[in-house]
């Protein structure tokens, strides 16, 4: 069962000057853009790996992965986004020094800033048009509400003036079950219908409640379990009597309880913990996959899902290598034990932030990784290649090849998810409506005129 999926990750951005200097974030972001596409200021830039990089609301740099049909490749391209932004930092800081503004630029892969603003990590799944979207949505909501037990990134928030550790960064910013808005009324499932494909066959499932994950494994399990549950629901394998009485209240209550003991109310009056609800979905997914003996990837996801739920029940801290909120909480508790301080110590707030620093020299997640204390899903060589090479089995390959051609010919071009256009003299537009198709005859013809062009390093 092939499925297209992708991640859109908004990053936090700040500048720490050596001295009292105010500098608009827009200027800093402009220098970062220069590192990606010299001598231009694109607001919607597609890269040679097929991904999209642009400035989102609130002046956040946002990286959208190319279309992927393989779970590990999605993890690889999500990490490539971090590396691309990290590689822009030296040039951007050099440009600032040229203007007499010494300091460091920080980019964080997180979901909240010090003022309480939030920015997201959105998941996209291509789904069948012929299924009842609203029925599937009702079935998905309890799964997404409770999935945070292994996908949450962890956060310190104040409750009645006292700092407390929460499982999820986004949970407290979700206000509705469903909505077409991504800012004014953030919902569990966004209903905006933009499939970027044949609209008679497909629609897009757009999920905006998830945290940004530093952990490769957490990203793998977060997206993998969602893809598995979506597939079983599309094929009619429903989970009966699973609707929550108040999903928005439930997502917040679960996030506030790192012991994972909190029970939330279902519509039929029962109360269940997040883990118990996840087990119901796991059991139904296992039953579903018994009818799909050749689904190797989803069976691997099912096995890891079972392992993680079991460990969360028995010993959550044993997942310190895999789960972001657990790794972060462990770091904080170790620091408090060493320094004899509490949750209100400002250094704990710094750990909360520094865990998400994408600079591998100073980010705490990468300090753990350097000591082999995090679980890897893809190797660093593959991540480095994904910075410039698109997936070879989806429409992203056509897009990436076209961009390489246009740059090699020094041609002005316009690119979107579904079309490629050469501007000016000899203007031409190429439609690419099939996200599963990695070949386009016209693009191949263009490339044939540049036999010396090396497409991939």
Cα(252)–Cα(172) distance, rounded to whole angstroms?
6
Cα(36)–Cα(44) distance, rounded to whole angstroms?
12
Tokens, residue 62? 């946002």
Catalytic residue among 56, 211, 352, 401: 56
Cα(33)–Cα(27) distance, rounded to whole angstroms?
10
Residue pair 359/107 in contact (Cβ under 8 Å)? The answer is: yes
- Cα-flanking dihedrals φ and ψ of residue 318, to 5°? -70, -10
Tokens, residue 28? 């800093």
Instruction: Dump the DSSP string for 370-417.
Output: HTT-S--SS-HHHHHHHTT---SSSHHHHHHHHHHHHHHTT--EEE-S
Cα(373)–Cα(366) distance, rounded to whole angstroms?
9
Tokens, residue 278? 């996840």
Cα(354)–Cα(370) distance, rounded to whole angstroms?
15
Q: Is 198 a catalytic residue?
A: no
Cα(155)–Cα(456) distance, rounded to whole angstroms?
40
Structure-token match 């990089």, residue found: 53
Q: Which residues are catalytic?
A: 56
């Amino acid at each position: 069962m092939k499925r297209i999926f992708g991640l859109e990750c908004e990053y936090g951005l700040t500048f720490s000057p050596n001295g009292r200097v105010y500098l608009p974030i827009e200027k800093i972001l402009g220098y970062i853009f220069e590192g990606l596409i010299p001598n231009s200021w694109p607001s919607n830039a597609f890269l040679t790996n097929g991904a999209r990089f642009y400035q989102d609301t609130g002046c956040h740099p946002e990286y959208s992965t190319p279309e992927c049909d393989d779970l590990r490749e999605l993890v690889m391209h999500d990490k490539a986004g971090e590396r691309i932004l990290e590689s822009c930092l030296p040039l951007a800081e050099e440009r600032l020094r040229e203007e007499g503004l010494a300091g460091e630029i920080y980019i964080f892969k997180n979901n909240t800033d010090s003022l309480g603003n939030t920015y997201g990590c959105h998941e996209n799944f291509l789904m069948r048009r012929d299924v009842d979207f609203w029925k599937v949505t009702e079935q998905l909501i309890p799964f997404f509400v409770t999935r945070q037990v292994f996908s949450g990134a962890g956060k310190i928030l104040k409750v009645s003036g006292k700092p407390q550790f929460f499982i999820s960064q986004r949970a407290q910013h979700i206000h509705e079950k469903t909505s077409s808005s991504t800012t004014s009324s953030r919902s569990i499932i966004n209903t905006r219908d933009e499939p970027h494909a044949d609209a008679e066959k497909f629609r897009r499932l757009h999920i905006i409640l998830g945290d940004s994950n530093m952990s490769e494994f957490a990203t793998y399990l977060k997206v993998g379990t969602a893809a598995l549950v979506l597939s079983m629901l599309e094929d009619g394998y429903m989970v009966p009597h699973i609707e929550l009485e108040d999903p928005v209240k439930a997502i917040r209550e679960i996030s506030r309880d790192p012991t994972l003991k909190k029970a939330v109310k279902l519509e039929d009056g029962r109360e269940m913990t997040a883990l118990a609800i996840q087990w119901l979905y796991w059991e139904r997914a296992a039953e579903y996959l018994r009818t799909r003996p050749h689904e190797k990837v989803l069976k691997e996801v099912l096995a890891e899902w079972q392992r993680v739920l079991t460990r969360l029940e028995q010993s959550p801290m044993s997942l310190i290598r895999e789960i972001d909120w657990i790794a972060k909480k462990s770091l904080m508790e170790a620091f408090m034990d060493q320094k004899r301080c509490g949750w209100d110590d400002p250094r704990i707030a710094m750990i909360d932030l520094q865990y998400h620093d994408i600079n591998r020299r100073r980010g705490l997640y990468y300090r753990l990784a350097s000591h082999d204390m995090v679980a890897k899903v893809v190797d660093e060589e593959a991540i480095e290649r994904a910075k410039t090479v698109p997936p070879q089995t989806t429409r992203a390959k056509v897009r990436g090849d076209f961009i390489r051609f246009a740059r090699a010919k020094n041609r002005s071009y316009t690119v979107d998810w579904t079309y490629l256009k050469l501007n000016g003299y000899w203007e031409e537009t190429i439609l690419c409506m099939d996200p599963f198709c990695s070949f386009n005859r016209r693009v191949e013809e263009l490339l044939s005129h540049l036999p010396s062009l090396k497409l991939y390093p």
